Chains A and B, each alone.
Chain A
Amino acid sequence: MAFLQLKSLIKSFGPVRVVQEFNLDVARGEFVSLLGPSGCGKTTVLRMVAGFESPTSGQIIIDGADVTGLRPSQRNVGLVFQSYALFPNLTVAGNIAFGLKVARKPSDEIATRVKDMLKLIGLPDLGERYPFELSGGQQQRVALARALAVRPRVLLLDEPLSALDAKIRVSLRDQIRDIQRELGITTIFVTHDQEEALSISDRVVVMNKGRADQIGTPHEIYNKPKTEFVANFVGTLNAFTAVVTHAAKGTIKVNDTAITVPHLREMQLTNGAQVKLGLRPEALHVGKQPAPATNLPATVEDVHFLGSVIRLRVRLGDEVMSIDTFNRSTEKPPVIGGKTTISLNPTDLILIQ
C-alpha cells in the first residue's frame, strides 16, 4: 500500500474550487513532483498535506493513518519554502536544531544530528553563521537540513529552487535528489519548471486548474501525454490536425501527404474523422530518410542557435513547425529562406486525446 495517499481532495476558497478531486498515491521513498502553471493549485495541495489548509473534503493518509484532522505540528512533515524562511535570529546550527530542541531531545543527540546534517548538505563549517551571511543556495540547503533533522515522514518542497539562479538551481536540484535517495524519504516537490520536474522525479503529476491531468513517470509524461494540456505544457510540441483516410491501416492525410501511422490502427478511428496530432521538435529531421520515414519539402523561416541544439522554424504548407537538430561544428547551419527536406518517423507522432 502507498505510504502517502491523497484521496479525492477538494479545496474551495469561498465559491472558488482551487483543487478538485485530487488523487495521488506516493510509495515509500518515492520522489513525486507536482508540475503545473502558476495558480493551478500546487501549493494548495502541498499545504493540505502539511496541514496548513484543511481540505473541503477528502482524506490524507500517511503510513496507513488518517492525518486529515491533525494540526501541522502533529504530522511530522518536513517543509521547505521558496523563500528559505530560515529563522533569522538563529545560527545555521540553531536553525537545524530547532525541531529537535522543540522535541526536547538530549543536547548531545542534538549536537551529533546537527553535525551530521551539516555534513549531509555539504556545509560542515558554517554552523555558526547567521542566515544573512549565507548565499541563497546555502540558505536553501540549511532549510532542507532543518526540515530533515527531525526525520520527518514526508518531505514537502514548494518551489525550493525558484529564487536561485540557473547554475545553482541545477546543481542544487541534483543535490536534493541525492540526499532524498540517501535518506529514502518520501518526497513531494512542487515546481512550475518542467525540466526540473522531469529530471529528478520518479513520477510527475501534471496539474491543470486544480486537477491532476496526468500522473506518470517522466518518460510517460513526455512521450505519451494524455491531454493536450500536458502535451503542450511539458516540452515543445508541434500540433496539427489531420484527416483519417483509412482507419484500418492507420493512414491519415496532412496537407495532401498521406502518412501511415502504425499505432493509430488500435485507436478505433473512423474514416474522415479529424484527429489532432503532435510531434516533438527532436522527432523531426532535416534531410531525407529512407522509408518508413516520410519526407516533406519545407522552407526554413527562422534559426535559433541554442548551443548544443539548433532550433529551426520551418514552413510545411500551412504549418510552421519547430525542429531541433544537434549542432555539429563540421556542418553548416541552415540559412533562413533556404529550401530543404524534412523527414519524420510516423511512430513518433503523438495522438492527442
Chain B
Amino acid sequence: MTIASHTDTSPRRSPLALPGWSWNWLGVVPFALFALLFLILPTIQIVFGAFRTPEGDITLRNIAGLMEPNILHAAWVSIKLSLISALGGCIIGLGLAIAVIRGGLPSVLRDATMTFSGVASNFAGVPLAFAFIATLGRLGIVTLLLRDLLGINLSALGFNLISFTGLTLAYLYFQIPLMLLIIAPALDGLKREWREAAESLGAEGIEYWRRVALPVLWPSLLGTFALLFANAFGAVATAMALTGSSLSIIPIILFAQIRGDVLQDPHLGYAIAFGMIAITGIANLIYIILRSRAERWLK
C-alpha cells in the first residue's frame, strides 16, 4: 500500500521532474548563499589568486614559486606525515575496532571505546600537544619514568617529541579514534552469515578476512583513509603547539605566510593554499576512482 501511494504521488513530491515552474528551490537559498559566501567564493578566490599577479594579470609565476627547496621539502614532510598517520590510524583503528566489536570482548568495552573515540577524535589541536608534552616531552611522565626506573634515556635513543615521529605519534591520537568511529558501523555491516558461510566452505580466520571481510570493507577503508589524510594534512594547531615552527610542514608555512612573519610575495600564499587544496583534492580523486572500481558490486 505504501509503495502504491509512493508511486502515484511522487510527481507532486519532486517538482523538479515536472516541466512546470515551482518556487520550491527558494527553500535552499539561505544555505546556498551561505555556502557560496563562506565556502565556495573563498576557495575560488584562492584558486584564482594562485594564478594572478598582484596587479591581476594571469601568471604561473606563483606556482613556479612553489618549486623552492624549502617549500617542496615541507610539502614532502606534510604528505609523508599525513600518509603515515592516516595509514597508521586506519590499520590500528581497524585492529582496535575488530578487537572491540568482533573479538569476543565484553560489550561494555565496546560502548566505552566508542564513547571515548567520540571524545578523542575531537581532542585535537592545542590541548593534544600539551598532553603529549606532558607525556613524552623532556619532563614528561613517561620520559622520566623510563629514565628513573629502567634507565632508558629516550633522547639518547634519538627520540624527540618535537620531530616527525613525535608529531605522527600525536596525530594518531585523533586519527585512530576517527577511524574507529567511521569503521564501526561498517564492521557491524559484516553479516554473521558471511563468516559462517565462509567457514563452512573451509575459509576461517585470515582466509575469511582476506577473501570476504576486507574486500567488503574496502570502500569504507579507502574513504576513511582519504578523510584521515585530509584531516592530518590540514591540521595546524597540534603541530604549532607541539613544535613551534621548528618542524616545517606545509600548513605551518602557510600560517607564517598569512601572518606575515615571512615577508614575501603575498601571492605565494595563494599558491601554497592552492597546492594544499590540490593535494587533498587529488587524494580524494584517487579515492573516488579506487572506490568506483571497488564498488562494481555495490548497489
Direct contact of A and B (CB under 8 A): yes
Residues of chain A having any CB pair with chain B under 8 Å = 50-52, 71-73, 75-79, 81, 83, 85, 87-91, 98-99, 101-103, 130-132, 143, 146-147, 150, 152
4 more A-B contacts (CB under 8 A) besides A85-B197, A102-B201, A102-B207? A81-B197, A87-B198, A89-B216, A143-B197
Do the beta carbons of A81 and B193 come within 8 Å of each other? Answer: yes
Do the beta carbons of A75 and B200 come within 8 Å of each other? Answer: yes
Q: Measured between C-beta atoms, what is the minimum distance from B104 to chain A in Å? A: 14
Do the beta carbons of A72 and B297 come within 8 Å of each other? Answer: no
Q: Is B194's beta carbon under 8 Å from chain A?
A: yes
Q: Is B212's beta carbon under 8 Å from chain A?
A: yes
User: Which chain B positions have C-beta within 8 A of A130?
Assistant: 296-297
Do the beta carbons of B297 and A131 come within 8 Å of each other? Answer: yes
Do the beta carbons of A71 and B204 come within 8 Å of each other? Answer: yes
Contact residue among A75, A76, A132, A146 (Cβ-Cβ distance under 8 Å from B197)? A146
> CA–CA, A147 to B199, complex, Å?
11
Do the beta carbons of A79 and B297 come within 8 Å of each other? Answer: no
Do the beta carbons of B212 and A102 come within 8 Å of each other? Answer: no
| Chain A residue at minimum C-beta to C-beta distance from B196 | A52
User: Which chain A positions have C-beta within 8 A of B204?
Assistant: 71-73
| Chain A residue at minimum C-beta to C-beta distance from B203 | A102
User: Which chain A positions have C-beta within 8 A of B191?
Assistant: 83, 85
> CA–CA, A34 to B68, complex, Å?
76
* Chain B residue total in the interface (Cβ 8 A): 22
| Chain B residue at minimum C-beta to C-beta distance from A130 | B297
User: Which chain A positions have C-beta within 8 A of B200?
Assistant: 50-51, 72-73, 75, 77-79, 147, 152
> CA–CA, A81 to B191, complex, Å?
12
Q: Measured between C-beta atoms, what is the minimum distance from B287 to chain A in Å? A: 18
Among B201, B215, B298, find the residue whose CB has the most chain A CB atoms closer than 10 A: B201
The 7 closest A-B pairs by CB, nearest first: A85-B193, A99-B201, A89-B215, A72-B199, A79-B200, A130-B297, A102-B203
Q: Measured between C-beta atoms, what is the minimum distance from B59 to chain A in Å? A: 48
Q: Measured between C-beta atoms, what is the minimum distance from B213 to chain A in Å? A: 10
> CA–CA, A164 to B218, complex, Å?
30
> CA–CA, A10 to B198, complex, Å?
26
Q: Measured between C-beta atoms, what is the minimum distance from A346 to chain B in Å? A: 49
Do the beta carbons of A88 and B203 come within 8 Å of each other? Answer: no
| Chain A residue at minimum C-beta to C-beta distance from B217 | A89
Q: Is B211's beta carbon under 8 Å from chain A?
A: yes
Do the beta carbons of A79 and B197 come within 8 Å of each other? Answer: yes
A79-B196 contact, Cβ under 8 Å, with A71-B204, A87-B212, A98-B211? yes
Residues 165 to 193 of chain B near chain A (Cβ within 8 Å): 191, 193
User: Which chain B positions have C-beta within 8 A of A75?
Assistant: 200
> CA–CA, A52 to B218, complex, Å?
27
Among B194, B196, B200, B215, find the residue whose CB has the most chain A CB atoms closer than 10 A: B200
Do the beta carbons of B211 and A132 come within 8 Å of each other? Answer: no
Q: Is B103's beta carbon under 8 Å from chain A?
A: no
> CA–CA, A147 to B299, complex, Å?
24
User: Which chain B positions have C-beta within 8 A of A76?
Assistant: 202
> CA–CA, A131 to B298, complex, Å?
9
User: What are 27 of the A-B contact pairs (CB < 8 Å)?
Assistant: A50-B200, A51-B200, A52-B196, A71-B199, A71-B204, A72-B199, A75-B200, A77-B200, A78-B200, A79-B197, A81-B196, A85-B194, A87-B197, A87-B198, A88-B298, A89-B297, A90-B215, A90-B297, A99-B201, A102-B198, A102-B202, A102-B211, A131-B297, A132-B298, A146-B201, A147-B200, A150-B201
Do the beta carbons of B296 and A50 come within 8 Å of each other? Answer: no
> CA–CA, A87 to B191, complex, Å?
10
| Chain A residue at minimum C-beta to C-beta distance from B199 | A72
User: Which chain B positions have C-beta within 8 A of A85?
Assistant: 191, 193-194, 196-197
Do the beta carbons of A99 and B196 come within 8 Å of each other? Answer: no
| Chain B residue at minimum C-beta to C-beta distance from A104 | B202
Do the beta carbons of B196 and A132 come within 8 Å of each other? Answer: no
Residues 193 to 249 of chain B near chain A (Cβ within 8 Å): 193-194, 196-204, 207, 211-212, 215-216, 218
User: Which chain A positions have C-beta within 8 A of B299?
Assistant: 132
> CA–CA, A303 to B246, complex, Å?
91
Do the beta carbons of A50 and B201 come within 8 Å of each other? Answer: no
> CA–CA, A146 to B203, complex, Å?
13
User: Which chain B positions have C-beta within 8 A of A88?
Assistant: 216, 297-298
Q: What 0/1 pattern do residues 127 to 148 of B give for CB contact below 8 A with A?
A: 0000000000000000000000
